[in-house]
Amino acid sequence: MYRWLLCFRYLRTRYIALASIVSVMLGVATLIVVNSVMAGFAAEMHDRLHGLASDILIECHASGGMPDPETRLQEMRDVLGDRVEGASVSVHVPAMLGIDFNGQLITRHVNLVGIDAETYDRVSQFGKYLLHPENQSQVSFDLRESGYAPERENFPAAGWKYRRQRAEYDRLLDEERQRVDRTLRKSRLQAGLPQPPSRQVDDDLEDDPAAAPSPGAGADQGPSMSLDYSADLFAGGDGGTPRQTFDMATDQFPGIVLGIATCSSRLRDADGNVNDHYYCRPGDDVRMMFPNASENAKVVNQKFTVIDLYESGMSEYDSTFAFVRLDQLQEFRGMIDPISNTRSVTTVQLKLVPGADLNAARDALRKRYPPDVYAFNIQTWRDMQGPLLAAVRLETTILNILLFLIIAVAGFGILATFFMIVVEKTRDIGTLKALGASGSGVMSIFLSYGVLLGVVGSGVGTVGGLLFVRHINSIAAVIERITGQEVFDPTVYYFNSIPTIVHPLTVVWVVTGSILIATTASVLPALRAARMNPVQALRFE
Amino acid sequence: MTAAGEFLPYFLPAAFDPNLRPQTSAVIEPPPVLQAHGIYKSYQKDSLEVPVLRGVDLEVATGQITAMVGRSGSGKSTLMHLLATLDTPDSGEIRFNGRRIDNASRAERDAYRNRDIGVIFQFYHLLPELSAVENVLAPMMIGKSTWAYFKTRKQARLRAEAMLDRVGLLHRATHKPRELSGGEMQRTAIARSLMNAPSLLLADEPTGNLDAETGLEILKLLRGLNRDDGLTILMITHDDSIAATADSLQRMKNGITQGNRPRRIA
Ligand SMILES: Nc1ncnc2c1ncn2[C@@H]1O[C@H](COP(=O)(O)OP(=O)(O)O)[C@@H](O)[C@H]1O
Ligand SMILES: [Mg+2]
């Protein structure tokens, strides 16, 4: 009993012990905050990565892809049984994106994906990352009138409305250009100067209706980087028949969804405000170049109309993906067998029922399609993001080790403090022994003192840490206001708030760990107190 | 200590009071509560052996106040620490109620200090973090397990208050030692030593740090305890005038006790 009484009294009357409590508290709070934020980040990342990738991805290395995907799908369903919840086939092809921006050409390397919007949304999240609210619920590859990204203030005008204005502007610009051209010719003619090369020649050639080829035939012309709007590769939004004339104000090329970072950049202006700059937007036309599926691959040069943008929050995805309709891409690439009329795909994506063992399913598929026979690459989403996930895990581990070192430092603080207290209490230890206290009894005073420091410190630290985590976003806002520095830079992260997850088990670990450290630190001083010669202690003045 | 003279009548040996001490006690001598025989103790100082006690013999008769007088540095405190089993003698033996205690186990010695004897010191040795009543409670808290103490804490508190009342300090029960005067601290220490109803009180210069008047009050209190409760007291002092008032007197000189002079027989 006296142990507890004295232990509590020492705790209350020694302010130096408060310093130890504070150091334990800070360590625990930091550990909890950092772990929660890291867990939040990791979970958010898992969520995003998993949402974007399907559970299992089967890629065919061959450029022609795998023919007859229906049969393959049936085979896979046979292997996995009722574990399969959904499946989607798609064509992935590396491509070059060309954007005309103020008369300049911007080129980007992208992954062009031909998807079946219907089934694709079932195996991975796609629609919900589109900007137009109607596309979010029902993806359509036709341009919408307007209403893109309604919740965004600074999103520029987009859609048919914008396209018509753009067409009108281009027409006026062209007229003006021709007028200047004519005047120039006339004046040169009068001055007897040689004629400059007519820019009209090019356009005439391309605008020649006879030269308007069928879809996919653009490859024959080779890659042309001219981005004057023309109907050279025109195909209706329905992938249908080519028309003789193309009017930008009323017609569109095949629809394409661009990853938002392929055609925009997020910058911070001089005042520190974050702004998005769009090189193209829904309603603009872009050019795509990609190989076709034939034996000696040629480049297909195809124009698309941007019908929506895709923003998942994962910069890796947002800056490399572009989506078009599967059947159109198959057509452009020549992936349709002219005789049997079967279509090839390069990729099969599977979604399994919740809780299914992905690795087991992957291994079963790998056994069904041995790599030395089939040129298939079968991966789970975790395999694909392995390095990233491993990096985050490693980061968390290292941070934890470093932060536990902080608590260890606090432990040494406790050790020093306790030695001081034991020396200070020498006389009292002698008194206690004279009153019949045993060595272990005296020891337990200081041990329980250490445990108490750990418990109180980590208790307060836990509460503080949890409160901090709870209000981390308002705290970040306050810090931003005070320092003028953005804590959570939206040009770097795509989260608009700091994600946090508190794992109870982590908290338990942190608390036990710090109590253990505090206890260990008090063992040596406590032993010293227990071993103290009572006579020396009583003579001590 | 010349001023002590006028207070001496208060400090008369209990044996002279016919009301309290039955005459038979002079006939049938009770066995001594504490015996020390041939105690040797030396301290090691830089490979130099400093002998402090060189063959001390001592008997503390039951129900008496035994005084041990000697000059400062003669080894009185050393002897008291040995008697309280806070230290062990190099040779010789100490018996409490006939039982060897100097070589008893650690636990037995702890129990002996806690239950069988009470100790008071020149410098009081109260625990500064605890109030007077908590200091008095300390021996009981130490002697019992947390649970056992918790069950009986009401009675313990009552007894501690009774002890404080006995030394006249009940009104200062909640005061911390630093809020008490020297005499009050010593009285608190006495109340503490009585808490577990010991059969022997070891007092090491209980008045050594107090002015004459306060010192006499303490002596009066001890005498009263001896007379009213039959408490056996071994009082260590360097003051002959105090020693002279005890029932029996032992003199310590150069680490050897000289003469055992039970007053009643003398
Ligand atoms: N730890 C020690 N080491 C060496 N000498 C000591 C030690 N403790 C006490 N002494 C010596 O023992 C002698 C007796 O001390 P003590 O018993 O305190 O005397 P008293 O209480 O009679 O004044 C003194 O001379 C003191 O210097
Ligand atoms: Mg002394």
Q: What is the mean pLDDT of chain A?
A: 80
Judge whether residue A461 has pLDDT over 90. yes
- Minimum distance, in Å, between the CA of residue B87 and any CA atom of chain A: 7
pLDDT category at B9 given cuts 50, 70, 90 is: very low
CATH topology for the B30-262 domain:
Rossmann fold (3.40.50)
pLDDT category at B203 given cuts 50, 70, 90 is: very high
Q: Scanning the structure block, which residue is given the tokens 């006249």?
A: B168
Interchain CB contacts (distance < 8 Å): A and B? 77
Ligand 1: which of B39, B40, B42, B43 to mutate, most ligand atoms within 8 Å of CB? B43
* Nearest atom in ligand 1 to B76's CA: 22
Measured from the alpha carbon of residue B54, the closest ligand is: 1
**Ligand 1, atom 18, residue with closest C-alpha:** B77
Task: Write down the pLDDT at residue A236.
Answer: 42
- Chain A interface mutation, best of B127, B134, B150, highest count of A Cβ atoms under 10 Å: B127
**Ligand 1, atom 6, residue with closest C-alpha:** B43
At CB < 8 A and 24+ separation, what contacts does A246-250 make?
Answer: A247/A167, A248/A163, A248/A166, A248/A167, A248/A170, A248/A285, A249/A163, A249/A164, A249/A167, A249/A168
Task: Write down the pLDDT at residue A179.
Answer: 92
For residue A104, the surrounding DSSP H or E stretch is: strand A104-115
Inter-chain touch B139–A541, beta carbons under 8 Å: no
**Ligand 1, atom 2, residue with closest C-alpha:** B43
Neighbours of B45 (CB within 10 A): 8
Rounded distance, CA A435 to CA A442, Å? 11
Chain A residues whose beta carbon lies within 8 Å of the beta carbon of residue B143: 436
- Tell me the whole-structure pTM to 2 decimals: 0.67
Task: Write down the pLDDT at residue A178.
Answer: 92
**Most confidently modeled of A18-22, A249-253, B129-133, B241-245?**
B129-133
Q: How far is CA A519 from CA A249, A356, A442, A493, in A?
A: 77, 44, 15, 41
Task: Write down the pLDDT at residue A466.
Answer: 93
Three-class SS of residue B60? strand
Q: What is the DSSP string of B182-230?
A: HHHHHHHHHHHHHTT--SEEEEESTTTTS-HHHHHHHHHHHHHHHHHH-
Do A312 and A127 meet the contact criterion of CB atoms below 8 Å apart? no
Please report the sign of the dihedral spanned by the C-alpha atoms of residue B163, residue B169, residue B171, residue B176: negative
Q: How many CA atoms lie within 13 A of B176 on its CB side?
A: 7
In the numeric block, which tokens belong to residue A315? 């910069």
pLDDT category at A487 given cuts 50, 70, 90 is: low
Q: Where are the domains of chain B?
A: 30-262
CA angle A189, A193, A198 (to 5 degrees): 75
Of the two residues A236 and B151, the one the predictor is more confident about is B151
Judge whether residue A460 has pLDDT over 90. yes
Name the residue among A3, A9, A535 with its Cβ closest to that of B87: A535
Task: Write down the pLDDT at residue A225.
Answer: 45
- Chain B interface mutation, best of A538, A539, A540, A541, highest count of B Cβ atoms under 10 Å: A538
> Minimum mean pLDDT among A218-222, A257-261, B127-131, B257-261: which range?
A218-222
Inter-chain touch B146–A433, beta carbons under 8 Å: no
Residues contacting ligand 1 via CB (< 6 Å): B 43, 45, 50, 52, 70, 72-78
Inter-chain touch A441–B192, beta carbons under 8 Å: no
For residue A349, the surrounding DSSP H or E stretch is: strand A347-352
Chain A residues whose beta carbon lies within 8 Å of the beta carbon of residue B127: 6, 428, 431-432
In the numeric block, which tokens belong to residue A194? 């040689």
Q: How far is CA A161 from CA A148, A284, A303, in A?
A: 11, 11, 20
Q: What is the ipTM of this complex?
A: 0.85
* Nearest atom in ligand 1 to B205's CA: 21
Chain B residues whose beta carbon lies within 8 Å of the beta carbon of residue A434: 84, 86, 113, 119, 121, 125
Judge whether residue A240 has pLDDT over 80. no
pLDDT category at A490 given cuts 50, 70, 90 is: low
Name the residue among A2, A4, A430 with its Cβ closest to that of B138: A2
Inter-chain touch A538–B139, beta carbons under 8 Å: no
Inter-chain touch B110–A437, beta carbons under 8 Å: yes
Nearest Cα residue in chain B from A12:
B129
Judge whether residue A422 has pLDDT over 90. no
pLDDT category at B21 given cuts 50, 70, 90 is: very low
Inter-chain touch B110–A5, beta carbons under 8 Å: no
A191-206 pLDDT, tens digit per residue, is: 877 776 655 544 443 4
A251-274 pLDDT, tens digit per residue, is: 888 889 888 888 888 777 777 677
Of the candidates B210, B160, B212, the residue with the CA atom closest to the CA atom of residue B190 = B160
Inter-chain touch B106–A5, beta carbons under 8 Å: no
Task: Write down the pLDDT at residue A106.
Answer: 85
Task: Write down the pLDDT at residue B126.
Answer: 92
Percent of chain A with pLDDT over 70: 88
Q: Scanning the structure block, which residue is given the tokens 């895709």?
A: A310
Judge whether residue B19 has pLDDT over 80. no
Name the residue among B77, B129, B149 with its Cβ closest to that of A1: B149
User: Quick one: DSSP state of residue B171?
Assistant: G
Inter-chain touch B112–A436, beta carbons under 8 Å: yes
Inter-chain touch A538–B138, beta carbons under 8 Å: no
Task: Write down the pLDDT at residue A268.
Answer: 73
- Minimum distance, in Å, between the CA of residue B161 and any CA atom of chain A: 18
For ligand 2, the distance from its centroid to the CA atom of residue A326, given in whole angstroms, is 102
Task: Write down the pLDDT at residue A207.
Answer: 41
Rounded distance, CA A282 to CA A77, Å? 38
Chain B residues whose beta carbon lies within 8 Å of the beta carbon of residue A439: 106
